[in-house]
Amino acid sequence: MEDNHILMGEGMKIKEATHAEKGKQSPARAKPAPKKELLAKLEEAEKSASENHDKYLRACAELENYKKRAARDREDFIRYGNETLIKDILPTVDSMERALEHASDSEDFKAFVDGLALIRDSFLAALGRHGVEKIDAIGKGFDPNFHEALMQVEGEKKKDNEVVEEFEKGYLLNGRLLRPSKVSISKHVDK
């Protein structure tokens, strides 16, 4: 350790007591620690380093396993994500098959049409359970966010930009546009 001094008066220095002056030996004169003690400390440090290295390796292995599991889960989600939708649609396919069997055995066209209407309703109900809803267009004002105008029809009794015919129905999926309705709109003309 170095000696500390306090300045007093005109350049006079009074030496403060240091650890060495209080009867303790300076580091240069300290006795070396026994070999057994040093070996024990070295062994303890090596053991601690080994434990930390093992913890590091385990953490790396856990991270790799997590990455693999997350990738597998993502692939499964992509592969099987539509499973509930498909399960809801399968009864509709079964109904279509029964309708086709019935149509080949029967001459009753009205029953066939009624069966198709039931299948359509079943199919729309299955889609509805998954957030799909039909856009009502006829008689409504044209909205470019939900409708695609294919043609314009002139008429006296028609309001401007009113949907008068729907060529293809539009659908929303959980409130988001899935497909716009393809429509014809009116244009009012005075005669």
Percent above pLDDT 70 for the chain: 81
Backbone angles phi, psi at 139, to 5 degrees: 85, -5
* CATH top class, domain 132-191: mainly beta
Can you say how many angstroms the Cα of residue 86 is from the centroid of all Cα atoms in its chain? 22
C-alpha pair distances (Å), 31 with each of 20, 21, 34, 111, 137: 14, 18, 9, 110, 98
Q: Give the pLDDT score at 116.
A: 84
Torsion on CA atoms 75, 79, 84, 88, rounded to nearest 10: 170
Higher pLDDT, 97 or 102: 97
How much is the average pLDDT of 6-25? 45
Among 1-10, 106-115, 116-125, the range with the most confident prediction by mean pLDDT is 116-125
- Would you say the pTM of this structure is higher than 0.85? no
- 107 token code pair: 């001459």
How much is the average pLDDT of 10-30? 48
Q: Is 27 helix (H, G, I), strand (E, B) or coil?
A: helix
Q: Is 160 helix (H, G, I), strand (E, B) or coil?
A: coil
pLDDT tens-place string over residues 39-88: 999 999 999 999 999 999 999 999 999 999 999 999 888 887 878 888 88
Type of residue found at 64: E
